[in-house]
Structure 1
């Protein structure tokens, strides 16, 4: 049974909300340790080459003599660092080559030195005194030029291109997939190329690290979403046991993937702290974030749809060309959703990744799905127009009742309900089929829609329970609060299962000393850590019942306090049985766009989103997640691209983001159906699906308003001001 969720008593305010809005919440850059000093990075200015030793020595000498400078770390004096284990580099975007390994340069912004001084101002001035010379080498900056090059099999630095088999550790998420017989014919065919640019994460909180040693013990305060992985990587770089490394990250101020892994500056900060014997703080500048903490790489996607006379899909092809650096692996998995979203007897999906002299890319909100659904959902809209069908009706005709990729049944799928409810709330039935048919106040008005989808995932995790003599119970896990409300919903789960009031329960996160949890990403934290909290709370209640009589109206707080020692323990949760069913969240986006062709302005004025994400633990937080995701996708569609010079790879211009002035009127709701197939609390992830499908919905609305197809992101004013040309008799 399903129901539409709007707001109820589960909409608990964030437990750390007051601290955040009053400014008393502490983030990594707020850490101040006794004797702390400051570090500033020096970065390369060429995409490929070798820094000359003479210029590096001269610059180091000049910086070392500057006021307040304590130490200058360069490739000439850096301690030899270890290599990160293969399991963290072969299908994850951690760099294979340790920082400051040699004098070679692989991209603009590569770290060349770290200057440590008594104040930030002195460190900044000394770093600015560096004047490096380079022996330049030919740089690979165009993925077309290397797309057909051979692959180098070994070495920390690699060139050419390759075809990865699967997405990160998820071997079932195939990046190369062919099935079914190619159809002999078809009444309608759409073949189009879609491009997406380089996008930056641009979180509010700059990446920051504070490293301090106490004997042979290292404590790192860092803005990270994977303290366990960072601990492993740091131990490998520094060649020390993991139990000598502690990573603390209580609050993370936004991330979107830029803080999912250990980046080179963290290791250098730890090395510098060991060398100077004092705590070292390093805060990246906004400019350095563009080259040092990942980004969404460019994609070029070729999509072909073949359908019969009724618009039922006979064949789907989705081929993606994307890019990574020469020192790490990452493939933007744009075609994953195409493998299952619509019924298609014949399917071909492929991905090719070109290694460029560019910074390492990484996950960004909706990795794969966000750029991939832009292409797929735009092509579906083109197919609907070509066969003369309503875009929503065409999607319903091609609805997939099971997961074609695995052959499994869905654990729960209510996409048709999302379509129906969203269409009703938006008023979709009033949409004219022809483009350029609606105007208001001199502007063209268009209505567009797109399907949203994102996997449901779960990994093993653990949770510690500590009961105090006063009956207060604290749950703890080495997960992260990245602004999505993890501490709040974990507290709600713990209170619900134990039967305790919310005021007597707390949840702690962000410390590697807590029981293990995976990285916070892939919309898996609630299902993963929530399962561990559920297991711990269930065991807590079982133990309490075994120790004393727990009847209706019993004072659980007093009983717990009396037995606090027996009610303190650690519980584990595995990944659950994911062999029999396929786990996926779905949704539908509907939007209204107004276009002023005279000045090339597109404004998103109204948005309806209906999501199917299993049980909704906190509707208030869930709705905020979706609204944030839609805004994220709006920026991707209309504003965001990293501008750079194609010859020098240097950044030029500015990076534009949506503001409150760009915010549409939101109508966000959920079709709730508790899904116990994935986890014992019945949830699937919400954090990423809000972005997925958004750029396509906007592009489709722009077409409905103007009659112009937008196949390249972002949609610029030049695109919108291009004169409209009515289609010929041979064109749709």
Structure 2
């Protein structure tokens, strides 16, 4: 009997990755391929003059090796997406190259196709165009201060501010919510504004696309995390059937949200390939990734916490102002966790979204929770200080056994266990309550903590089983290997459920020809695809009927019967709600003479259901924490306030920024969510991390820092300028 689940199995594609044999989209060899380069706007709002566009296209077309120049003047008309793909998802309402108007810096203006990447890039550099500039709206504050300028009514381009009802397709996750009394109670009050900047995804692998036509069939090799969704959107843009499109994405080299949707360069590659009659390859530059594949939008969050005479929360308010583009919807849902995390009789949560002349934002690792828990968890520390309580004890006193938004109990949750286990492993009982008490080797030391939480999600998925003549069994689904070890854990699930050794089972992904699966995001792939793989493996074992399965040379009578496709439903309806929880504890050192903060030690305890592979699970949490360290101390995209162009460099953590990790899990299988008892791990590691660091910095320095990233300059400011 196989016992693969629960073992620290190494990634099945790991050797290929470290030896360079792994093949990503840009590595795909295609005969007769041509190369494309983008031409992008360098103003935030206005219109390109037709004369200058025609002249620029002529210059580029005359350059060496150029095969075609695609512009708004000659681009075939593309269809608008159906409303269900744009009204609550960050897919753009306006087709690319549909007119000469400009809505943001970095908007695609043309695509040059040539016989080499160098010739394409050179020709694109020749396409200087002239603009008729228009007033640009560059911040949410500007939107709220100035009345919107009408442009196209309620069409593809929209202005002003609005308040969306819910988060994407999750209608129960309300962005405007309240409960309890209308009136605000009296008591100890903490009220402050917390800000987070624009963050870039910055994956290792640049977004890359190769589009080719085989007669009427469009084959797209793309770095995407939503194969089936990309196929649907691409079919809608082009006005063809989904059965005429195949998407291939064998491996994805990081994404963090940037590759969750169909971006405009993919559509343009498909159009250009049809026009030139040859495959077209486009690899975005690092600079183009900042304006072409989404980002986390900035937020301004106002939180008010009121405690009664006993120190218990009596009221919680969390109001968010964030931004989206003028051509697509996205709301960073920072207040979702606030609705249920701590027991509070009164709650008010709101989200306001301002449309500005900037690229379209989208999901980024821990959407909503990462920036939202920064604000909430720093506010909780401020309340603990205001009421004279230990931050851990305040949180323990407000743990709830049910989802306050619905009144339904958690299906399998132990947040208190995470707190207590983490505190013991960290040594929290030795933490002095007074800031600036700890020091080491001439630098200040601080200890901080924060709560982590992320929903347990599951969607429908399919899985194909193919039994091979040599005695191996192949499982497959149109999901994605984004570096999390999906192929490995799916093979482990299949091996255990079939009873086969792990080396006789494999799992394939990255092809839209496989059975449908949802996007690889929202920490749902293991629960979703794993349920389909488990069902397929159980059906395979049932069909085998107790017969011995030969190690090799499987006969034809078994091959057909043991090759089939199954589907698995989404999360079952039930009385319980699935939610993951965790606790972060960290130590920082602050050299106040240099303004340098270093995260030295980290303890994280996670309650994420059953752990299928402890090595990969711990790796995911470590990666999430490192991601959060960058968010707390390094990452932001500054812009020139006059031109809206990105400025400077984008700093991300390196190995030198890695703390000493102590990662552990509470094994609480969640069989209410799926038959294998798992919840996702990919994003919860980031949630709460910036707050834990900010709280530790306060403990080290006495400064309450409410704006990310926490920079050298902020740490060097005198305390009385930063403290309330």
Range class of TM-score, shorter chain: over 0.9
For 1:542-598, what per-residue CA distance to the aligned partner results, in whole angstroms no more than 9, with x for missing partners?
Answer: 0001xx535xxx757677886121000000100131342111000000000001111
The alpha carbon displacement at 1:87 in A equals 1.2
Q: Does structure 1 retain, via aligned residues, the 8 Å contact 2:303–2:375?
A: yes
1:524 is aligned to: 524
SS of the equivalent of 1:448 reads strand
Which among 601, 604, 607 is matched to residue 602 of structure 2? 607
Q: Does structure 1 retain, via aligned residues, the 8 Å contact 2:531–2:676?
A: yes
Alignment of 1:258-657 (within 5 A): 258-545=258-545, 549=547, 563-657=558-652
SS of the equivalent of 1:192 reads strand
2-side partners of 1:210 and 1:32: how far apart? 10
SS of the equivalent of 2:719 reads coil
Instruction: Name structure 2 gaps, 5 residues minimum.
Output: none
Alignment of 1:216-231 (within 5 A): 216-231=216-231
2:93 is aligned to: 96
The alpha carbon displacement at 1:290 in A equals 0.1
SS of the equivalent of 2:381 reads helix
SS of the equivalent of 1:421 reads helix
1-side partners of 2:384 and 2:721: how far apart? 18
2-side partners of 1:21 and 1:171: how far apart? 42
1-side partners of 2:74 and 2:719: how far apart? 62
2-side partners of 1:253 and 1:182: how far apart? 49
Q: Does structure 2 retain, via aligned residues, the 8 Å contact 1:183–1:346?
A: no
2-side partners of 1:13 and 1:85: how far apart? 42
1:80 is aligned to: 77
Q: Does structure 2 retain, via aligned residues, the 8 Å contact 1:343–1:399?
A: yes
Q: Does structure 2 retain, via aligned residues, the 8 Å contact 1:601–1:717?
A: yes
SS of the equivalent of 2:323 reads strand
The alpha carbon displacement at 1:191 in A equals 0.1
Q: 1:9 to 1:581 in 2, by over 3 A?
A: closer
Instruction: Name structure 1 gaps, 5 residues minimum.
Output: 1-6
Query: Is 1:122 matched with 2:119?
Result: yes
For 1:521-550, what per-residue CA distance to the aligned partner results, in whole angstroms no more than 9, with x for missing partners?
Answer: 0000000000000110010000001xx535
The alpha carbon displacement at 1:417 in A equals 0.6
2-side partners of 1:688 and 1:337: how far apart? 14
Q: Does structure 2 retain, via aligned residues, the 8 Å contact 1:469–1:562?
A: no
1-side partners of 2:383 and 2:364: how far apart? 29
The alpha carbon displacement at 1:47 in A equals 0.2
For 1:53-89, what per-residue CA distance to the aligned partner results, in whole angstroms no more than 9, with x for missing partners?
Answer: 1111111000000000000000000000011111111
SS of the equivalent of 1:45 reads coil
2:250 is aligned to: 250
2-side partners of 1:618 and 1:8: how far apart? 6
The alpha carbon displacement at 1:187 in A equals 3.0
2-side partners of 1:709 and 1:385: how far apart? 11
What count of residue pairs does the alignment treat as equivalent?
718
SS of the equivalent of 1:250 reads coil
2:657 is aligned to: 662
1:131 is aligned to: 128
For 1:369-416, what per-residue CA distance to the aligned partner results, in whole angstroms no more than 9, with x for missing partners?
Answer: 000000000000000011111000000111112100111110011111
1-side partners of 2:278 and 2:250: how far apart? 22
Once superposed, what is the RMSD of the aligned Cα atoms? Answer: 1.6
2-side partners of 1:710 and 1:68: how far apart? 55
The alpha carbon displacement at 1:183 in A equals 5.9
SS of the equivalent of 1:256 reads coil
1:22 is aligned to: 19
2-side partners of 1:703 and 1:127: how far apart? 50
2-side partners of 1:632 and 1:283: how far apart? 25
Q: Does structure 2 retain, via aligned residues, the 8 Å contact 1:321–1:353?
A: yes
1:4 is aligned to: none
Q: Does structure 2 retain, via aligned residues, the 8 Å contact 1:613–1:686?
A: yes
For 1:344-379, what per-residue CA distance to the aligned partner results, in whole angstroms no more than 9, with x for missing partners?
Answer: 000000000000000000000000000000000000
2-side partners of 1:725 and 1:374: how far apart? 22
Q: Does structure 1 retain, via aligned residues, the 8 Å contact 2:5–2:496?
A: no
Q: Does structure 2 retain, via aligned residues, the 8 Å contact 1:310–1:387?
A: no
